Structure 1
């Protein structure tokens, strides 16, 4: 231990000898303090510029689909403060995905789920992202115990096979189901959410079918490179700005439903073009229903 008086005497002696004019740098004749900058890396400090509602951040979300839409949604969720996120996908990243995917050239031919989980874990100190390889059928059969830990099932594929599997499976506790999918060209967003023991696929189909018919009629002269509503095919005609805009809108709606816990809703958003100029997104249908 050293006394303050002795320290002051020593620093005064050093000043007289011309050793330094910065008295606070020394505590004795041999010891110099090297000051270092410190930073507060707590979640509250890091996320002070913007964070999703606590009820959403504390949720455990299993996301099905790590394509361009799923990757964008996952990025927004993690950077918004989500703490637990599982990413499920069976596919590898292809060169054709790169134009609008958040993954990079170094990730080509690698597992999408694992690569995306690795990326998102590097994006946040306060989140844990886990990769689940394989499709939904494989994971429901072999990893059901792990999946039961999640309270939100977020589908970002819009694929019939995925929704059929979610319809056939009965969870031990009610889950918040959310389905996010895009229309042709990324010009429309279809957002569906409800709470149930199984995904109410028949209700979803009833609500979305009129829009599918409308799209098929409007784009009948186009060659559609995929089935269903997803954007998983590399030839799906939508730019990255379309994907990001719709992903952000989907996250805004996730925030909204977590502020109204019991709401079941189907929404359709559409890009508005006036005289050839983009004028914004418009909510063109909203249906609230009871399951």
Structure 2
């Protein structure tokens, strides 16, 4: 085996891996190993398959790049300059790099199994996956029916990652758009000028008539109204075989022409309707959830266009709209001129919750949280981050700097009302949520607060205060509600959880179930002094660490979820932290008291 140009020897583990490549069918190293970077080694190689295709030659050429720390570190494969591969394909990390470690169903059926961690198996595994990738690409089988649909790559050189277009679509809006394929219109945008510029599609119209208003939450609807852009709805996906997306204006013209549409008039009108700022053109098309499945929703992509100020007349051109367009058509929108696409951010619940949302039966409920203190704010945040969209928070207290050691709020919220500031924080977590904060205690005296409680499906008290429990017990509801009490024991070492599904909360039953545990915990260390705070009149405060409250708040949110999606009419649980000789051991369910 040849050494590198600087005569540095190959690492022994890499040498061991290289020997196994001789046993990989259809894979051949075609040159010496060389030092690619200070910490990587590279070698040219080729894959030879029985039969090529329109996009894949029978012999394809690659560059294998391996970490100096093999078998640790990454193993990458890139197309060579004259690779014998034309176009773009599914399961690629970049235009020149296939993804060989994906867990997609189509690749799992290759039978290579999990990636081995050892020096003798890992390099050969990647070589075998490359051969299989090329074989599948040549046969058009990188996707199989039933595989998760994956959008073609839009490469970094065609992407403005500091600007995004945010849309909200689902199967109901798909039915609306099916009536407008091949048409174009206007879309009103809302704009968030944070560190990155985010546009939100707020209302779609056509020739001045309303078509669709996405059901955004209050964070989006409170944003400043921005510009109006042009939209175009396609009948089918504007992809370039085998699996690419238009990167130049010539490619986009071609795919639109195949659907009977002309791009240039849309470009002119999009620029003309935006006197200031960056004009945008939104292009929508239906996509399925799985390969060969039915269309599930509309996918939007937005491209940036030059402003009218940028389309200045040039020498030899008259200062007229037609002359300016001719210049732009030649200089900016030429066949080989690149398109700049914005980062596309779909916001439907399935996308937002792909990393973990509650079941729809739990998310769809309307929640009221009584108390916006350390426990209530954390429970409310757990629910919203899990997909709850309708939530109201009640508290008449203000946030102080001393609260922040264990509260979800920050210095920016001091000295605002806890409930109102918590609601503002919640609406910035999820673009679908519509939280409301009420600056009052329970039961509410204002009409809007009373209406929120009346409309609620789930009421969660996080104060544990006797007057609140008593007031909950006095109200009879026309329809059953889930009423839950969550409260903390001394130093947040325990959580008292009680729930009923009822038309009238049974306060005496709550007292019998919970108060004995409260009394037992109060006697654990009766001589330990409580911390004090205040000016003039000092008052005791409840001691607890932020970590302990967050831990039990997560347990409380789980208790809420399980009871809401269950069928029990009553449930009592006391959760407590367990500590042993070696420290924290976990959360345990406390048994009956003696």
Larger radius of gyration: 2
Aligned residue for 1:29, secondary structure, equals: helix
2:461·2:485 contact (CA, 8 Å) conserved in 1?
A: yes
Partner residue, 2:340: 35
Which of 477, 484, 505 aligns to 1:199? It is: 505
Written as runs of structure 1 = structure 2, the 5 A alignment for 1:40-55 is 40-55=346-361
Q: CA RMSD in A?
A: 2.4
Deviation of 1:83 (Å): 1.2
Q: Return 147-156 or 170-179, whichever deviates more.
A: 170-179
Assess if the C-alpha contact under 8 Å between 1:140 and 1:147 holds in 2. Answer: no
CA distance in 2, matches of 1:212, 1:24: 66
Q: Deviations over 1:206-260 (max 9, x none)?
A: 011221221222221134579xxxxxx9831110000000011111112211231
**Which runs of structure 2 are paired with 1:208-223 in the superposition (5 Å)?**
208-223=514-529
Distance in 1 (CA, whole Å) between partners of 2:448 and 2:352 is 37
1:176 aligned residue: 482
2:440 to 134, 137, 146: 134
User: Aligned equivalents of 1:237 and 1:24: distance in 2?
Assistant: 59
Counterpart check, 1:109 vs 2:332: no
Separation (CA, whole Å) in 2 of partners of 1:214 and 1:175: 30
Change (3 A) 1:286 1:245: farther
Shift of 1:33: 4.8
Contact map agreement 2:482 2:564 (CA 8 A) in 1? no
Cα distance 1:24–1:180, how it changes in 2: closer, same or farther (>3 A)? closer
Q: Which residue of 2 aligns with 1:160?
A: 466
CA contact 2:484–2:497 (8 Å) conserved in 1: yes
Distance 1:57 1:155, change over 3 A: same
Which structure 1 segments of 5+ residues have no match? 1-21, 227-232
Q: Provide the residue aligned with 1:249 in structure 2.
A: 555
Q: Deviations over 1:36-82 (max 9, x none)?
A: 13232222111100011211100000100000001111111000000
Query: For 1:177, what is the secondary structure of its paired residue?
Result: strand
**If each structure's strand is expressed as a fraction of its own residues, which one has the higher value?**
2
SS at match of 2:565: coil
Q: Hey, what's the Cα distance between the residues in 2 that align with 1:222 and 1:196?
A: 40
1:147 matched to 2:448 = no
Q: Which moved more, 1:163-172 or 1:149-158?
A: 163-172
The correspondence of residues 5-84 of structure 1 with structure 2, limited to 5 A, is 25-27=248-250, 29-30=330-331, 31=333, 32-36=337-341, 37-84=343-390
Name stretches of at least 5 consecutive residues in structure 2 with no aligned partner. 1-157, 159-245, 251-328, 533-538
Distance 1:24 1:218, change over 3 A: closer
Distance 1:92 1:219 in 2: 31
Secondary structure, counterpart of 2:344 in structure 1: coil
The partner residue of 1:187 within 493, 499, 508 is 493
Cα distance in 1 between the residues matched to 2:397 and 2:540: 12
Q: CA offsets, 1:140-183, max 9 Å, x none? A: 88743332111111001111111111112222322100100010
TM-score (norm 1): 0.83
Deviation of 1:285 (Å): 3.2
In the superposition, the TM-score normalised over structure 2's length comes to 0.42
2:391: which partner in 1? 85
Equivalent position of 1:229 in the other structure: none
Shift in alpha-carbon separation, 1:107–1:81, aligned structure 2, 3 A = same
**Matched residue, 1:4:** none
1:279 equivalent to 2:279? Answer no
**Distance in structure 2 (CA, Å) of the matches to 1:273 and 1:234:** 27
Kindly indicate whether structure 1 or structure 2 has the higher relative contact order, using CA contacts under 8 Å at least 6 residues apart: 1
Pair 1:261-2:570 in alignment: no
Q: Which residue of 1 aligns with 2:53?
A: none
Indicate if the aligned counterparts of 1:97 and 1:234 stay in contact, CA closer than 8 A: no
Q: Which has the higher helix share?
A: 1
